A and B are shown apart, each in its own frame.
Chain A
Amino acid sequence: MNFSIDWLTFEWRLIARSRLSVVALLLLLVLSTLSVWSGVQEVARQRDTIAQLAALQAQDAAVATTRNATGGNAGSAAYYTFHHTWDAPADAAFLALGLRDVAPYALRIRALGLQAQLYEGETFNPEVALPGRFDFAFVLIYLAPLFVIALLHDLVSSERQSGRLRMLAAMPDGGRLWRRRVALRFALLLACLVLPVLAGAGWAGLDMGASVIVLAVAASYLAFWIGVSLLVGAHGRRSVTNATALMGVWAVLTLVLPTLANVALTRAIPVHQGVDLMLAQRQVVHGAWEVPRDETMRKFYLGHPQWQHSAPLPEGFHWKWYFAFHQLGDESVAGQVQQYRAGLLARQAWTDRLGWVLPGVGVQAVLHRLAATDLPAQLAYQQRISSFHEALRNFYYGYLFTDLPFGPAQAAHQPVFAPAPGAAPAPWRAAAAVCLLAWLVFAAGAWRLVRIKGGGER
């Protein structure tokens, strides 16, 4: 025991004596802390915004209800009343802010055609969004490997260049020394990286499973880069050559290949249907004014037989006709909506697959899935809006198609949006895939390291 403490203090002293290493470790700690802190701030801000919007919307809905109080008509109530929907940030959202800066996380919806409302953009400055957020995912995926490289690229070569390598290799159980050195650096890097995350997780009330995944993924990603550093560094080359080669590997794995993959993906799976379905839906909705009203109703009753015994349309305007053709507009593009979603999900699926071979992409996918800030999370929010919209329509139809009066008393029973049920299922499989690859590379690096011979001094 005493012995092991001795080597620990000895090795630590070695690291501490190199000012550069200490500065690097401190810098990593600071960056990681800043990223977690800014993520936590951002999540708090989003929660506040959602609460404020809810209050604002409640006021607006109250105004609509009072305005409708004298008329007592479900149609005009449905037309003028908007409803609050929101997508609260998950507990893990502070780790990876993802698409939440470019997609709305709160949307007001009314019972009219959904497809004209669902794709509303959020106000954001594209120049701010373009480089991406400064969050923990960024620090882990882009910056942490650079620190690994800085601390490990000359692990072997510095000993060789100073002429100690032959002696170290000649020591009994020489592998132990390398194991200790690597383990200590690994532990220090990991600590600097994840201590702020643990603090953030405690603050956000992150559940155990999610915390374990974050730790496992962060440790594995570090292990991957340590493995790569060892594989490159164990060859008998100079420190500078190692650093150059490692930075090259980093640039290719985190900058070049993912962007190449993105080009390939957008090309292989084109998604134009978003615009198409919007144009198509408009044609149907606006064309309806020229279609004989009875024909519209006949078509509508075909798909919704529960209302077919509604009274015939009166001479003038009737809201049920208006809502019927809006719904027919949505239904006419239902197939395109399916295709659009399928196209987007296919892009996501291929990205996930890419994550099995590119650890940076894999970690990105796992963290964003965990944080529920990725494309599937956005689609899930749209899906929840759709279900709510369905409930809203049915609620109003109950008054519209039976000509029941609708007043504030009835308005009090309007459906309320159901937010996401707690945490999303943890991405265990994707995380396992990332970890597996990472530790294989680590094992290869470690194996290469212990086989180092003292020769090849330059």
Chain B
Amino acid sequence: MIKRIALEEWRALARDRAAVVGLLLLTVLMLVAALTAYEQQRGANAERARYQAQSNHEFQAQPDRHPHRMVHYGHFLFRPVNPLAAFDPGIDGYTGSTLFVEGHQQNSANFGDVRQTSLLLRFGQLTPAFVLQVLAPLLLVFFGHAAVARERESGTLRVLLAQGVASRQLVLGKLLALCGFTALMLLPALAGLAWMAASGHAPWLPVLLLAAGYTGWLLLWSLGVVLVSTLFARGRDALLVLLAVWTVAVILLPRWIPDLASSAVALPTRYENVINVQRDYLALGDSHNPQDPKFAAFRDGLLKQYNVTRVEDLPVNLKGLVSMEGERRSTELFNRYAAAGMDRQQAQSRLIDHAGWLSPALALRRLSMTASGTDLASFRSFLEQGEAYRYALIQGLNKLHAEEVHYADEGQAGKENRISNSHWQGFPPFHYRQAQVDEILLRAAPAGAALILWILALTGLTWWLGGRLGRAVR
């Protein structure tokens, strides 16, 4: 019986020219979105890889020089794009992709797309995620709102019930039909995702997570649409209510809640952070000057360790060691500020996540960005990996300074205090490590739970109201 009702509804949908055209348009849009997003992701990755190679080359090709000059020369790191960014680019356009690492300083990642485009980027980006998050539910609302209400409006519901169809069967049949419609909408996206995993572009687990998340999201909407359709006697009312729900859940709340979160947890500007960091940094002493009193204890410890009385007698270069000690102290300081700033940002994001229990659109967005590796946590991971690389690089150069340059020669004109450029080639290039699968699962779990809870709640409600539908008509 359920199947027959579903088939009937299907036939009605297939006859409705608008529904077919809508579905076709959505599919075309999805294909365009997928192709451009994939192209863009590949282009960005190729470009960044090229820049990274150029940077690596330039670093290694630096001439013989004093290692401390290399500390100031620094290095450029480029953030690779996660392949799944082709599905959901998330914050990728909003974060810088270029990180300049140098001694004595932690820099921000610069040149994000958002500052390099007109305000068009703020209308949203055309990606498969956008199509499924925003447009697909709208299509479901348009073509599903009358599923039950139409039968009621035209009086056929009474006839069906009189013929012995249970009202629950009817509701389930309509739901099944709508789920079929949903499956058609999902098909191109799922095929694209499967292709990405099968061809080795992306690991299977995040792909499955994305597929499950979006299937759940559209199932949620199918349930909601049928539910509202059983609630209202007239299709018109059901449509208006569903459109209002869509507007609030998909357009309004995803903008408003982040706004609230950002005023609830204020972020210090970079400007004041830099001043505070600089003030604390100067208080640490000048690591360029081995006679700085702030480093006296460190110097005395060294003299004792090597059992000598004069710094000139040390087997290592004091300036290099002071640089290492200074870098160690300052990095501790920078990391403290950086972690505090990032923690505040993550506190904002957590506030938004909590709202995911209220608006499943936010939960879906979290799940989607996390699985695609384009969320704040992934960006933070890049910054932290970049910082770890910076520290290793700078300390490696300082170590060369300590071991390869003689203290007596420092600053002496005519003395050789450059070291061979073959040393620069000894530093391994930067490799960004994408998040592990278990990290992704852990981060996406609350959002997934919120979606599942919503689905369960709506399923229960639909079941209950489906049973009462008969009474409402009688």
A residues with a Cβ closer than 8 A to B are 20, 31, 38, 41, 49, 52-53, 56-57, 60, 98-99, 102-104, 106-108, 119-134, 138, 142-143, 146, 150, 154, 239-241, 243-245, 247-248, 251, 254-256, 258-263, 265-267, 271-272, 274-275, 278-279, 282-283, 286, 289-290, 315, 344, 347-348, 350-351, 354, 360-361, 364-365, 368, 374-375, 378
Contacts and interface: CB of A to CB of B under 8 A. Distances in A.
Nearest to B345: A125
A99 B115 contact: yes
B243 A247 contact: yes
A122 B119 contact: no
Given A102-B94, A272-B47, A275-B98, A344 B116 contact: yes
Interface stretch (B50-58, B154-162, B193-201, B446-454): B50-58
Contacts of B72: 286
A264 B98 CA distance: 24
17 contacts: A121-B110, A125-B349, A127-B348, A128-B349, A130-B94, A130-B258, A256-B29, A256-B126, A259-B123, A262-B120, A262-B126, A279-B76, A286-B72, A290-B63, A290-B65, A360-B123, A361-B123
B346 to A, nearest CB: 8
B267 A123 contact: yes
Residue among B134, B255, B279, B352 with the highest chain A CB neighbour number at 10 A: B255
User: Among A154, A248, A360, which residue has the most Cβ atoms of chain B within 10 A?
Assistant: A248
B269 A49 contact: yes
B122 interface: yes
Nearest to B143: A244
Contacts of B111: 119, 274-275, 278
B32 interface: yes
Contact of B119 (A154, A248, A282, A368): A368
A128 to B, nearest CB: 4
A263 B275 contact: no
Contacts of B239: 240, 243-244
B117 interface: yes
Contacts of A251: 135, 138
B271 A107 contact: yes
B376 interface: yes
A127 B252 CA distance: 16
A72 B239 CA distance: 77
B204 interface: no
Contacts of A146: 243, 247
Contacts of B259: 38, 128, 133-134
Contacts of B55: 279
B126 A259 contact: yes
Given A125-B345, A279-B76, A239 B236 contact: yes
B229 interface: no
Contacts of A108: 271, 274-275
Contacts of A102: 94, 112, 114-115
Interface string B300-319: 00000000000000000000
Contact of A361 (B74, B120, B138, B262): B120
A143 B251 contact: yes
B185 to A, nearest CB: 14
Given A263-B36, A279-B51, A126 B130 contact: no
Interface in B235-252: 235-236, 239-240, 243, 247, 251-252
A359 B356 CA distance: 33
B387 interface: no
Given A254-B123, A256-B126, A286 B118 contact: no
Given A60-B275, A143-B251, A283-B58, A255 B135 contact: yes
Contacts of B273: 123
Kindly name the residue among A119, A131, A134, A265 whose own CB sees the greatest number of chain B CB atoms within 10 A: A131
Given A263-B36, A275-B98, A258 B270 contact: no
B206 to A, nearest CB: 18
Contacts of B73: 282, 286
Question: What is the predominant secondary structure among interface residues of chain A facing chain B?
Answer: helix
Contacts of B119: 98-99, 351, 364-365, 368, 374-375
Nearest to B274: A108
A26 to B, nearest CB: 13
Contacts of A360: 123
A286 B69 contact: yes
Contacts of A361: 120, 123
SS of B interface (majority): helix
B341 to A, nearest CB: 6
B117 to A, nearest CB: 6
A123 B109 CA distance: 10
Contacts of B279: 60
Nearest to B268: A123
Nearest to A97: B259
Contact of A104 (B243, B254, B271, B376): B271
A275 B112 CA distance: 10
A257 to B, nearest CB: 9
Interface in B256-283: 256, 258-259, 261-263, 267-275, 278-279
Interface string B365-381: 00001000001100100
Nearest to B120: A262
Contacts of B116: 271, 274, 344, 347
Contacts of A133: 255, 259
A274 B78 CA distance: 13
Contacts of B278: 60
B393 interface: no
A252 to B, nearest CB: 9
Contact of B270 (A38, A120, A286): A120
Given A104-B269, A240-B239, A259-B124, A129 B349 contact: no
A240 B51 contact: no
A106 B269 contact: yes
Contacts of A129: 91, 94, 114, 258
A348 B270 contact: no
A125 B125 contact: no
A244 B63 CA distance: 68
Given A256-B126, A375-B115, 4 more contacts: A123-B273, A129-B91, A244-B142, A282-B73
A60 B272 CA distance: 11
Given A52-B272, A146-B247, A243-B240, A132 B122 contact: yes
B470 interface: no
A308 B274 CA distance: 37
Given A41-B263, A121-B110, A286-B69, A57 B275 contact: yes
Contacts of A49: 269
A278 B98 contact: yes
Most buried by B among A123, A133, A243, A263: A123
Contacts of A347: 116-118
Contacts of A368: 119
Contact of B91 (A127, A271, A315): A127
Nearest to A254: B123
B413 interface: yes
B407 to A, nearest CB: 19
Contacts of B130: 259
B54 A123 contact: no
Interface in B85-119: 90-91, 94-98, 100, 108-119
Given A240-B239, A243-B240, A53 B272 contact: yes
Contacts of A130: 90-91, 94, 258
Nearest to A20: B240
Nearest to A106: B271
A217 B145 CA distance: 34
From B40, B63, B65, B258, name the one whose CB has the most chain A CB atoms within 10 angstroms.
Answer: B258
Given A41-B263, A143-B251, A255-B134, A263 B126 contact: yes
B121 interface: yes
A304 B333 CA distance: 41
Contact of A265 (B97, B118, B258): B118
Given A121-B109, A146-B247, A138 B120 contact: no
